[in-house]
Amino acid sequence: MNSPGRHFLQIPGPSNTPLPILSALAMPTIDHRGPDFGKLGAEVLSRIRNVFQTEQPVVIYPASGTGAWEAALVNTLSPGDHVLMYQTGWFASLWCKMAAKLGIEAEVMAGDWRSGVEADRIGARLAEDRAHAIKAVCVVHNETSTGVTSDIAALRRAMDAAGHPALLLVDTISSLGSVEYRHDEWGVDVTVGGSQKGLMLPPGLSFNAVSQKARTAAAKARLPRAFWEWEDMIAANARGYFPYTPATNMLQALKVALDMLDSEGLANVFTRHRRAAEATRAAVRHWGFETQCRVEAEHSPVLTAVRLPEGHSADALRAEILARSNMSLGNGLGPLNDQVFRIGHLGDFHDLMVTGTISGVEMGLAARGIPHRTGGVLAAMQSLAGNGSPVLDAAE
């Protein structure tokens, strides 16, 4: 059945793709060996570095973020290598499983799925490893399943204090272009990214930002790699080209996405995401619910995972909201299945889209008979406009 009106895609990624990017995707495909493509390739390969805040190479793959996970591992490690991986949630768990499948010995440091990486715990474990058997530390910057953002700068400080030479590999798939991130300043060796969230593109591109230390490790790494090989890519990229057929139209769209981010300014993009997150959490608190993230400073700017009261189905609520309001929300993953729903507020959005999303959720809560305090939309509006707004006060 046709659902009239705009579909609200409020999952935590893929995010909404704005019309300028869709128009770029629809442009005629150009010759990926021709001079026009060389100019395009050189431009996007140079400009994408600013999003990662790096002067080092950023390798672009025609793949999902999962491919970039694998590229980070196979380029830097050898069979049987010992890595330390911190389990902040579902996606950190999947990265751990991938490492095991590749023949890497993954030591998993368990988290509670409600808070971020504990830098001191990792630092203490590294300090115990006097033989330097641990070759890499792998963490997720923004855990999409829980709505928790980890402090990567603090982790780097802890690793430095331990005096350990392990590589630092960080997943920014759901934070890149939405949350402040500094690859060089924070001493990250490989940063993993994807196109379908803060960059506002459809799924299809993934990224590895690569330090010189990581490239040195890659020269000795013995895990098999062909498609994922960094040096082949970096060599071809020096001329603006790729060693195999790239996702040509996606790269045309990436240029437009970079134009949009530069026009707004990354600092303003990050502020916009924080404001949306604060407004969403204001509504959740007003309703009387908990967020899955329980550390205030670690709340994600790109999504909010909401815990429903015992005995109420998050999936039934999501289905109700989809049917009534033509709005998609994220489901709970792994042990959080049917216990939480996730509100995405990332990519291409503005204040009215935030309040519209909150309105759809509140109507769904009422329709499902889930106990809550009404007025979450007003709480979100007050957060966005600033408490004490004369307009809002006059309406009360």
Annotated binding-site residue numbers for substrate? 342
Q: What is the DSSP secondary-structure string of 71-92? A: HHHHHH--TT-EEEEEE-SHHH
Residue 344 corresponds to which tokens in the numbers above? 């995405």
Amino acid sitting at position 185: E
Tell me the β-bridge partners of 299.
148
Rounded to 5 degrees, φ, ψ at 194 are -140, 160
Query: Would you call 330 helix, strand, or coil by DSSP?
Result: strand
Question: Is the bond leading into 14 cis (omega within 30 degrees of zero)?
Answer: yes
Q: Minimal CA–CA distance to 220: which of 22, 76, 333?
A: 76
CB 285 within 8 A of CB 140: no
Considering just the CA atoms, what is the radius of gyration of the chain in Å? 22
Q: Which residues are annotated as a binding site?
A: 342
CB 15 within 8 A of CB 197: yes
How many Cα atoms sit within 13 Å of 391 on the Cβ side? Answer: 6
Residue 128 corresponds to which tokens in the numbers above? 């115990």
